[in-house]
Structure 1
Amino acid sequence: MRGAGGLGYAAGIWGLKGPEYTQVADPWPLNPDGELMLGLKIEDRECVANAEYICKVPGLAFAEWGPGDMGMSYGFADAHDPPYPPVMEEARSIVKGACDENGIHFLCSWKDSSKSAEENIRFLMDWGVRILSGGGEDQARIGRAISGRQMPV
């Protein structure tokens, strides 16, 4: 449920009239016509312990495991990139599993310095990751080439 205040101003930012704005400024997938995606960062040991419950929240489109902060919560100050300690690999798998169980996309970056950019992206895509982060337009081009997708515009 949401309130009705501020529609005019917000609709103007989107270049829409009030009724159009209320239709599209709503989270997908709760509203199939919604144009907002809500995501969560499940990036510390307390969140991992509750990932199965967190991912049941209606309206979530994606969640991220946040390796940098996750590592800090387990006492690894510089664990942004692989290889990860076993406890972090387990945390990543738990968050990904909770996402999969609830139909939520898993957002992940992967910068294994022993692999090429394409190998890193293939690893993620083979693991079922569909929202990749941290690589900019070059990463997007590689991902589109691997998946056979084209930009819609």
Structure 2
Amino acid sequence: MVRINKCIELIQQNQAIFAVSAPELTYDCGVEMSQTWADLIQFDFEHHPFDTVGLAQFMKGLRDGGPTPSGHITPTVITTVPSNCMTPEEVQYNAWQIRHVLSTGAHGILHTHTRRADAVAMFVAASRYVFQTIGRDQGIPEGLRGGGGQKEPAEIWGVDPTEYLQIADPWPLNPKGELMLGLKIEDRYCLPDADNIAAVAGLSFAEWGPGDMGMSHGDPDLHDPPYTPEMDKAREIVKDACKASGLSFLCSWQDPNLTVEERTRHALFEEGARILHVPDKEIADTIRKEMGREMPW
């Protein structure tokens, strides 16, 4: 099955997902990045202006510059949002942010500071249309997306609005879904309940957010290794929670004592990452070949 979201295919094939960041949110940048060697494009709205107008233009550029070398309409695009995922109320009151991102045709959300399972369940609900029922018996509230905004993202995805309504749903909760929802389990308050947080239906990946995790433990300069034993333990807790629930682990490794290739290999083969940022196309190409990747890039 050729999907709209190429990263779902890669997860199903147990292949590494190589990510890059978008330098700017413009139509021209989208056209240029439509042919990126990377699988996933991320943009940070957690710390940068919430520019969904720019994101919409970027998505149009991706579509018009496509298809990708792999034959997909666009690369996968996932963003964060300005709000956090600490309580159900916070998520519910800021559900408009999730709605606005997804209405551009983006393929998912990576939510931040996910401290409670019920808050994560509300995040899943905020990403879904109200009529979707899969997972309602697993504690997911009724969806919060409503009709009216489906025309534009449907055009980006190359489907009619009726089909978009059906497939704009989280995978793998909905096997036909094309959205990827992820978590940053990234502070000391998340750790005691990490297993339950990661087990919420509707998720596909998570990360441990070393920068904020380090700050949460009192050190603002622990984003990169070498890590303290406390940080190593935190990473293992999140990684084990991902493994228990079948989530892909997002983890890069910026050890200054290693080469870029050594960092990449450590993240993939020692830390168990399946989603990571890599700045070097040649390194990604080498590892793709070693892993037997069949999808063109």
Mark yes or no: TM-score above 0.5: yes
Moved over 4 A (4+): none
State the distance in 2 between where 1:151 and 1:136 align. 20
Work out whether residues 62 and 105 of structure 1, in 8 Å CA contact, stay in contact via their aligned partners in 2: yes
Q: Deviations over 1:73-117 (max 9, x none)?
A: 001111111001110000000000000001011100101111111
Q: Residue 132 of structure 1 aligns with which residue?
A: 276
The range that moved more, 123-132 or 141-150, is 141-150
- 2:192 pairs, out of 49, 52, 56, with 49
Work out whether residues 129 and 165 of structure 2, in 8 Å CA contact, stay in contact via their aligned partners in 1: no
TM, length-normalised to structure 1: 0.88
- Which AA in structure 2 matches 1:96? K
Q: CA deviation at 1:48?
A: 1.4
State the distance in 2 between where 1:67 and 1:136 align. 19
TM, length-normalised to structure 2: 0.48
State the distance in 1 between where 2:157 and 2:248 align. 26
- 2:237 pairs, out of 79, 87, 94, with 94
Q: CA deviation at 1:10?
A: 3.8
State the distance in 2 between where 1:129 and 1:99 align. 10
Gaps of 5+ in 1: none
Matched, 1:2 2:146: no
Change in 2 beyond 3 A, CA 1:146/1:117: farther
Q: Deviations over 1:31-88 (max 9, x none)?
A: 2221111000000000112111100110100001000010000011111110011100
The range that moved more, 34-43 or 118-127, is 118-127
Gaps of 5+ in 2: 1-127, 131-145
CA RMSD of aligned residues (A): 1.9
Higher helix share: 1
Change in 2 beyond 3 A, CA 1:142/1:71: farther
